[in-house]
Amino acid sequence: MTGIGMVTPAGLTTDETWDSVLAGRPTAAADPALAGLPVELSCRAAEFDGDTVLGRRTAWRLDRCTQLALAAGWAAVADAGLDPGDWDGTRVGTILGTAFGGIGTWEREHRKLLELGAERISSLTVPMSLTNMMAGRLATDVKAGGPSFVTSSACASGATAIGTARELLRSGACDIVLAGGAESSLVHSVVAAFDRAGALSHYKDGPSKASRPFDTGRDGFVIAEASAVLVLERPEHAQARGARAYAYVSGYGASADAGHETRPDPEGLGAERAVCAALQDADSSPADVTHVNAHGTSTPLNDVAEGRMIRRVLGSHPVTSSVKGVTGHSLGAAGAVEAAITALSLKHQTVPMTAGLTHQDPAVDLDIVAGTSRPVTMETALSNSFGFGGQNAVLVLTRP
């Protein structure tokens, strides 16, 4: 992993996001765009302005989800010290994950259809709304002619994209892959639907306490938007150009609960298979894992199921945390954001605190970092991502 680009509620750059996560600054706030809904709270990247970052002529043709992906993608390329004008684009892939894609455009144009008639719908509705467009547009922008597509495995989408990118590198199909995820689905239909499913926090103690992974008072997640793109290279390619490495993506495992559509397996058995597959792929053992960046959604069911699984498979020694107390849950982008944070944890030898955690659920018998971030000597870390549909993706990251 030679480059990282992020746009999140915690910051418009990778450094800003990392600093906010380390400080444990929650980003949940009342969202005027959601006024009138039972839940009016989100973690929005409010300072991101597509017109400013991409230029108005470009931004107006793109859904906000794609705008976020392009901003993170270009930042990652720059961070890696790469110039698209110099590379062989046929050897560069673009694999991004998302859950909802351009649903913001779709909802806006559907409202026009109902209120103003068919002739008022934008002629760009389809290309702006298509789920694959973020990967297609990023490929166009950076002249990447290799494999380009979107993975969609709900909240595991970003991690699935990174794991898929790794396979393209291992197979020799690509020398470089831009991999990650983006999500911007802070719209009425999505937020109302998640609330009806009982998934969202009603933040009885105020927005700053709404997202509190592993806390006894948790009552649901806070929906967020974000993007993160990583530059992944074959080691020999990165070494030949003298590139710096944040981390190695040493293992990837995926599985399905094959159970309920929305509830995780109560013992985390599907997630366990993904963890074990990732460790086997990395030629690592549970004893090697020092840190787990947990999925940690702040929902009553997920946190207990994941906590039980981590304790059963890895024991009590890994230092565990969840960044969602700061960033909220960015759905299809979450796995990419958290893989980037895990890589930065390895680089800085520091595990971020779990914001919002003041009273740890006794059903989660783990060493969870709370109160302040913690220096930890570590070589191997896991990044867990689990999604509706029982879809699980786990990444093993190792220190260079």
Which of 43, 65, 155, 174 does the annotation list as catalytic?
155
Position 16 scores a pLDDT of 98
- Which residues lie closer than 8 Å to 125 by C-beta, 6 or more apart? 105, 106, 109
Using DSSP's 3-state secondary structure scheme, residue 338 falls into helix
Using DSSP's 3-state secondary structure scheme, residue 43 falls into strand
Lookup result for tokens 């499913």: 197
How far the first Cα of the chain sits from its last, in Å, is 10
Q: What is the pTM of this model?
A: 0.96
**Whether the predicted pLDDT of 93 surpasses 90:** yes
Look at strands 41-42 and 226-233 and give their pairing. Answer: unpaired
Amino acid at 136: G
Position 266 scores a pLDDT of 84
Q: Which neighbouring-strand residues pair with 93?
A: 177
The percent of residues above 70 in pLDDT, for the chain, comes to 100
Position 263 scores a pLDDT of 82
Residue ranges in the chain assigned as alpha helix (H):
14-23, 50-54, 56-59, 64-79, 103-116, 125-129, 133-142, 157-171, 188-196, 235-240, 269-281, 300-314, 324-327, 334-348
Tokens of 52: 């400013």
Taking residues 220-248, what's their average pLDDT? Answer: 97
Position 138 scores a pLDDT of 98
Taking residues 352-381, what's their average pLDDT? Answer: 97
Residue 141 domain-assigned (yes or no): yes
- Provide, for the chain, the percentages of residues in helix, strand and coil under a 3-state DSSP scheme, each rounded to the nearest 5: 40, 20, 40
No. of H helices and E strands in the chain?
14, 15
Amino acid at 400: P
The percent of residues above 90 in pLDDT, for the chain, comes to 96
Position 373 scores a pLDDT of 98
Which residue, among 47, 41, 37, has the nearest Cα to 17 in the 3D structure? 47
Residue 400 domain-assigned (yes or no): no
Tokens of 102: 């351009």
Position 267 scores a pLDDT of 86
Using DSSP's 3-state secondary structure scheme, residue 19 falls into helix
| Reported confidence tier of residue 205, pLDDT bands at 50, 70, 90 | confident
Instruction: List pLDDT tens digits, range 247-277.
Output: 999 999 999 999 888 788 888 899 999 999 9
Q: pLDDT averaged over the chain?
A: 96
Q: What whole-number distance in Å separates Cα of residue 151 and Cα of residue 254?
A: 13
Q: What whole-number distance in Å separates Cα of residue 294 and Cα of residue 383?
A: 6
For residue 166, the enclosing domain spans 1-388
Domain count, the chain: 1
Q: Does the active-site annotation cover 276? A: no
Contact predicate 77/3, CB 8 Å:
yes
Residue 153 domain-assigned (yes or no): yes
Taking residues 99-127, what's their average pLDDT? Answer: 96
**Whether the predicted pLDDT of 102 surpasses 90:** yes
10 Å CB burial of residue 206 (0-12, 13-18, 19+) is exposed
Position 117 scores a pLDDT of 96
Lookup result for tokens 């008639």: 117
Cα 154 to Cα 44, 180, 205, 235, 385: the distances in Å are 19, 14, 29, 30, 10
Position 187 scores a pLDDT of 97
Residue 384 domain-assigned (yes or no): yes
Residue 21 domain-assigned (yes or no): yes
Residue 97 domain-assigned (yes or no): yes
Q: What is the CATH number of the domain that holds 237?
A: 3.40.47.10
| Reported confidence tier of residue 213, pLDDT bands at 50, 70, 90 | very high
Position 129 scores a pLDDT of 95
Residue 395 domain-assigned (yes or no): no
Cα 20 to Cα 11, 17, 54, 82, 319: the distances in Å are 7, 5, 24, 27, 20
Which of 65, 174, 291, 295 does the annotation list as catalytic?
295
| Reported confidence tier of residue 34, pLDDT bands at 50, 70, 90 | very high
Position 262 scores a pLDDT of 75
Q: Which neighbouring-strand residues pair with 6?
A: 228
Contact predicate 226/45, CB 8 Å:
yes
Position 233 scores a pLDDT of 98
10 Å CB burial of residue 212 (0-12, 13-18, 19+) is buried
Position 264 scores a pLDDT of 85
Tokens of 214: 């592993």
Residue 394 domain-assigned (yes or no): no
Q: Does the active-site annotation cover 155? A: yes
